[in-house]
Structure 1
Amino acid sequence: MLLVMLHELGHYVTARWFGVRVERFFCFFDVKFAIWKKKIGDTVYGIGWLPLGGYVKLSGMIDESMDLEQMKQEPQPYEFRVKPAWQRLIIMLGGIIVNIILAMIIYAALFISQGETYVDVNKMQYGIEVDAKQEKLGLQNGDIPVGVDGIKYNSLRNINKEALLGGNTLEVKRDGKEVSLPISENFRTEILNSKSSFFIPQITFEVDSVVDNSAAQKAGLLKGDKIIAVDGFTTPLYSDFKRKLSEYKGKTVPLSVVRKGEAIELMTNVNKDGKLGFTTTSAYLNSLEVHRDYTIAEGITMGLTEPFESIATQVRGIGTLFKVKDGRKQVAGPIGMVKQMPTKWSWLFFWSFTAMISAWLAFINLLPIPGLDGGHAVFAIYEMVTGKKPSEKVLEKAQMVGVVIILALMVFIFGNDIVNMIFK
């Protein structure tokens, strides 16, 4: 909501700057009535009851309020319609500019304060962990992803992104050789369904914490223990351990453990899910991560370009929905986004998400759809180029078409969220 109000503030400030009267400035929509409102000068400020954004109403402008009576009156010097086309263009772009600048500021602050951390594929010794679905796609346990469409990437996250958003081939290192795998519709669908955890590095591990009253606790496992074998089968990697342990669901199995340099044997029960009840830690996984700090100048430079990178990624993501199975199910509106939020509060996630949404809000409003800022901007540009102003009748019909399009999109997005919740 804050982003929407900042967007509307951009329109408000630029309108006042050029002497256009702002009749209303509302948080939420006040259909029939408002929860609160107060008139200060020529403007009524208020809070509506329908939580679908906010709006500013400018004098002498055909907008979603469809106040056509006002347009029949003699034009006044403080009205939007009498201002030069270039001023009207700036007013229409005011909200978009605010959203882009906000995204730039947040991204720059994040780069400067947090830097960037990623898993470097060049440091991977054991490759990735592959399940049955991935095997059907051509991947093998121990493969090391190195590139997409012949382009090499250091970041495992970037390989995941490029493979999802349009890549045709995935390059992996296998037994010292490079192998190219086709990225099919099924391949892309599995990446999308994995929620950014499609490529999981195989790791060495040790016990971090033990769950109270679990089989692991009863067996005597302690923090720092390294499990090197299950029933005599060596399990140097966590994926090996999980795979072997799953063969003993509901049974008792011996574990070979190294504790403070000494080898010991423990007997433990395995639950029906094939687990013992402990969490792991991995110094090896931490060694795969590369962290880069940015100077203030570098952070600002990154911040200036990142909003556009974010928008490009979102647009490519929409294109990907047509290349996967059940793409509609992957479309998330406000309800879907809330469900995808992390369970634990994270300021880093909050600010990253805010910057991304701010950039996306700017892009959506820039689309040349009647009723959106981009639609109004198109008419202003048309007038600047041709010297002819569209008739009020054209503007009126265009606004009506835009309202229908926007309402239809809202119904689809919210309806899709509800359907996904019901038929999950």
Structure 2
Amino acid sequence: MLIQIATLMLSLMLLVMLHELGHYVTARWFGVRVERFFCFFDVKFAIWKKKIGDTVYGIGWLPLGGYVKLSGMIDESMDLDQMKQEPKPWEFRVKPAWQRLIIMLGGIIVNIILAMIIYTALFASQGKSYTDVNKMQYGISTDAVQQKLGLRNGDIPVGVNGVKFNSLEDIYKEALLGGNTLEVKRDGKEISLPINEDFRTQILNYKQGFFIPQFTFFVDSVIENSAAQAAGLQKGDKIIAVDGFTTPLFSDFKTKLSQYKGKTVPLSIERKKEPIELMATINKDGTLGFSQASPYLETLISHQDYTLGESFSKGLIEPFESIATQVRGIGTLFKVKDGRKQVAGPIGMVKQMPKKWNWLFFWSFTAMISAWLAFINLLPIPGLDGGHAVFAIYEMVTGKKPSEKVLEKAQMVGVVIILSLMVFVFGNDIVNMIFK
């Protein structure tokens, strides 16, 4: 849990600091005084703060964002006393509209550039790996729920809405986010399955495990004091049959074990190319107690490397594709049952973090969230950067500056909207934890 929390917190701290730095640098560039520069919110008190020059730098205790306070600007601090005084030359409100627009967009621009840099580095260093459906010999494994939706053991997903994909991960994404039909190969023929609300809901409920390839296997390790150890199973053993029924694929093996829960059955084993017969008592949960390995699964992975130029090109596009995917994901929540349960706030996001430190995940996650924060802040909601930008653009187009009363009321509306969203997100996390 500590590693999961640290992963999320470090990513958010990095993003918040750089976002606010975008506002800070552009504000100082145009001669606007920055009164406070905080990572996280310092409601009532701060973990650390220090005044350097005209600016108080600090770290708040409430990890829901961060802020810079600019002199002469109506923001979430609602410092109206300052606004009643005569304007000073270093204040935000006296600067031309085009300068105020750049200051408001500074954080968003930094978020997009950061996402581009990270994605470019990831493409250059890691390339792209994916499960290649063209290499699948045994198709996917299905359970009773998936079979009710029309899928069968051995089906090979090949496309969505008539569009073919090489990547199983892309098929999963498209089926979930915008699919009306799923194309699969079955017994050498291609058939189309309808994707309705139930189908999409189950894809979402299974997370990334909806399309699981069937695979051949062997015993990789045996758990101490398990039924597998009692039966004499060893590392490297291939289980050929259970009670005379051949089990070449792990899904066949699991299905057969589930039919013999608590019973003693013969196992046909191949050990160092020699046939062996063992007797095993199956656990009541339908397991023996060993972990399996499958060289076959490794053969399904295709990898593509990119040149520096290709990486740069893809890195420029990827933030916007990531934003599009997130927006489509929100739309999907209205097309599934209990979509609210799929909304994750900070508490829910912690659970999605890896339990072991993973730098590749960290940077991929940071790039995705950086792009998403840029999009969210660009929305024309009062209180967000996009809301402030709208007023600056309005002034540039009409030549009329909104009154401070209008700005004050707009800011108050924005604060109510943002706080309401925060209450919903945190409340939803808590409800999901209680009624999971």
TM-score by length of 2: 0.95
Q: In the alignment, which residue of structure 2 is the partner of 1:200?
A: 212
Q: 2:259 aligns with which of 247, 253, 276?
A: 247
RMSD: 1.1
SS at match of 1:209: strand
Deviation at 1:116, TM superposition (A): 1.0
Q: 1:336 aligns with which of 323, 348, 352?
A: 348
The 1:33/1:342 distance shift into structure 2, 3 A limit, reads: closer
Q: 1:236 aligns with which of 248, 255, 258?
A: 248
Identity across aligned pairs (percent)?
A: 85
SS at match of 1:165: helix
The answer to whether structure 1 residue 3 and structure 2 residue 3 are counterparts is no
Q: 1:325 aligns with which of 315, 325, 337?
A: 337
The 1:39/1:343 distance shift into structure 2, 3 A limit, reads: closer
Deviation at 1:35, TM superposition (A): 3.4
Q: In the alignment, which residue of structure 2 is the partner of 1:383?
A: 395
Query: How far apart are the structure 1 equivalents of 2:241 and 2:15?
Result: 54
The answer to whether structure 1 residue 266 and structure 2 residue 285 are counterparts is no
The 1:186/1:39 distance shift into structure 2, 3 A limit, reads: same
- Superposed, 1:16-415 pairs within 5 Å as 16-415=28-427
Question: Residue deviations 1:256-313, cap 9 Å, x none?
Answer: 1111111111111111111111111111111111011111111121111111111111
Paired AA for residue 188 in structure 1: R
Query: How far apart are the structure 2 equivalents of 1:84 and 1:153?
Result: 50
Deviation at 1:348, TM superposition (A): 1.2
Deviation at 1:180, TM superposition (A): 0.5
Paired AA for residue 267 in structure 1: M
Paired AA for residue 373 in structure 1: D
Question: Residue deviations 1:103-143, cap 9 Å, x none?
Answer: 11111111111111111111111111011001110111111
Query: How far apart are the structure 2 equivalents of 1:230 and 1:32?
Result: 66
Deviation at 1:343, TM superposition (A): 2.1
Query: How far apart are the structure 2 equivalents of 1:135 and 1:35?
Result: 54
The 1:344/1:37 distance shift into structure 2, 3 A limit, reads: closer
Deviation at 1:48, TM superposition (A): 2.7
Query: How far apart are the structure 2 equivalents of 1:176 and 1:128?
Result: 14
SS at match of 1:196: helix
SS at match of 1:254: strand
SS at match of 1:257: strand
Paired AA for residue 115 in structure 1: G
SS at match of 1:66: coil
Q: 1:14 aligns with which of 7, 16, 26?
A: 26
Aligned residues: 424
The 1:50/1:345 distance shift into structure 2, 3 A limit, reads: closer
TM-score by length of 1: 0.98
Query: How far apart are the structure 2 equivalents of 1:36 and 1:175?
Result: 65
Paired AA for residue 111 in structure 1: F
Query: Which runs of 5 or more residues in structure 2 are unaligned?
Result: 1-12
| The 10-residue stretch of structure 1 (74-83 or 370-379) with the greater mean CA deviation from structure 2 | 74-83
Query: How far apart are the structure 1 equivalents of 2:274 and 2:157?
Result: 36
Paired AA for residue 89 in structure 2: P
Query: How far apart are the structure 2 equivalents of 1:338 and 1:51?
Result: 13
| The 10-residue stretch of structure 1 (273-282 or 400-409) with the greater mean CA deviation from structure 2 | 273-282
Paired AA for residue 279 in structure 1: S
Query: Which runs of 5 or more residues in structure 1 are unaligned?
Result: none
Deviation at 1:33, TM superposition (A): 3.2
Query: How far apart are the structure 1 equivalents of 2:61 and 2:325?
Result: 34
Query: How far apart are the structure 2 equivalents of 1:145 and 1:199?
Result: 8
Q: In the alignment, which residue of structure 1 is the partner of 2:8?
A: none
